[in-house]
């Protein structure tokens, strides 16, 4: 069972969001349900395109994402995502999905799912360098 603890800003989230996120994370912990995880995290969840931000601990890493407006430094318009405070470059694919700079070959429905995917790939021993594309 993967632990997802909300660290701040959680009070802005509705209860059903919390339950849905916890359920999605639990599924995400099982590799066999990879496909399900992607389908389950869509509109209305934290981190969905145009949705609310997120701030959680996933597999021991703090992942945060905020919708932004105005000039972007990197990545798709409208999101700033960090893992343990280091910026995670996200890119948008033409089909609307998100790729992270840690893995250019798997895309996810939401920035949150892409951030979790990046954490999965980083494992327990690597951190982001802070370098963006």
Partner 1 sequence: MAYTRKNQNSLSRAERRRFVDAVLRLKRRGEYDEFVRTHIDFYVSDGDDRLRVAHMTPTFLPWHRRFLLDFERALRRIDDSVTVPYWDWTKDRSPAASLWGEDLMGGNGRRSDRRVTTGPFARGNGWVVKEAVTDGDFLTRDLGRRADPLELPTRQDVAWAMAETVYDVEPWDSTSRRGFRNRLEGWTEESGSARWRNHNRVHRWVGGHMLGGASVNDPVFWLNHAFVDLLWSRWQRKRPDSAPYLPAKPPTLGDAQYQRIVARREPMPPWRTTPQDMLSHKSVYRYAE
Is residue 99 near partner 1 by the rule CB under 8 A? yes
Q: CB-wise, 66 or 103, nearer to partner 1?
A: 103
Q: Please, which of residues 68-87 interact with partner 1 by CB under 8 A?
A: 76
- CA distances for 123 relative to 17, 51, 102, 117, 118, angstroms: 26, 27, 11, 10, 9
- The interface mask with partner 1, positions 20-59, x = CB under 8 A, is -----------x--xx--x---------------------
Measure the N-to-C terminal CA separation of the chain; round to a whole number of Å.
34
Task: Single out the residue of 92, 109, 110, 112 in contact with partner 1 (rule: CB under 8 A).
Answer: 92
127 within 8 A of 86, measured Cβ to Cβ: yes
Q: CB-wise, 13 or 80, nearer to partner 1?
A: 80
Instruction: Tell me the torsion sign for CA atoms 42, 20, 66, 36.
Output: negative
* Residue among 7, 97, 122 at smallest CA distance from 47: 97
Binding stretches for partner 1 (CB under 8 A): 31, 34-35, 38, 76, 89, 91-97, 99, 101-106, 121-123, 125-129, 131-133
């Amino acid at each position: 069972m993967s632990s997802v603890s909300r660290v701040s800003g959680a009070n802005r989230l509705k209860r059903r969001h919390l339950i849905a996120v916890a359920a999605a994370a639990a599924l995400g912990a099982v590799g066999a349900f990879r496909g399900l995880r992607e389908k389950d995290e869509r509109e209305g969840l934290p981190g969905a395109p145009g949705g609310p931000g997120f701030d959680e601990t996933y597999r021991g890493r703090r992942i945060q994402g905020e919708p932004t407006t105005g000039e972007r430094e990197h990545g798709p318009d409208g999101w700033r995502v960090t893992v343990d405070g280091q910026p995670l470059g996200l890119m948008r694919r033409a089909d609307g999905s998100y790729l992270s700079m840690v893995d250019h070959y798997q895309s996810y429905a939401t920035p949150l799912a892409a951030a979790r995917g990046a954490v999965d790939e980083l494992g327990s021993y690597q951190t982001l360098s802070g370098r963006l594309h």
